[in-house]
């Protein structure tokens, strides 16, 4: 993991982990966020080439910050 930090999603403690690596020799960067509410575990992932990662990061942040368990 490149970085790991505690965050909050929908009022719940969550974990954000950034990974960099390669898949079939193609560079990839992944932002994984995970949290548990009740008996369910929620996973969100955003993946991109490292060079293009910033292009979609704001939209991903917005989606996750607005997520609510119904």
- Per-position pLDDT tens, the chain of length 70: 799 999 999 999 999 999 999 999 999 999 999 999 999 999 999 999 999 999 999 999 999 999 999 9
Domain count, the chain: 1
Q: What is the pLDDT of residue 1?
A: 74
Q: What is the pLDDT of residue 55?
A: 98
Give the DSSP H/E element, type plus range, for residue 37: strand 26-37
Q: What is the CATH number of the domain that holds 40?
A: 3.40.1000.10
CA angle 3, 34, 65 (to 5 degrees): 90
Domain holding 27, by residue range, is: 3-66
pTM comes to 0.89
């Amino acid at each position: 993991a490149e970085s790991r930090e505690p965050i909050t999603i929908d009022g719940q403690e969550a974990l954000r982990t950034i990974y960099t690596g390669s898949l079939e020799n193609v560079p990839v960067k992944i932002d994984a966020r995970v949290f548990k509410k009740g008996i369910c575990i929620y996973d969100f992932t955003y993946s991109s080439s490292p060079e293009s990662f910033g292009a979609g990061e704001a939209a991903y942040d917005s989606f996750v910050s607005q997520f609510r368990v119904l």
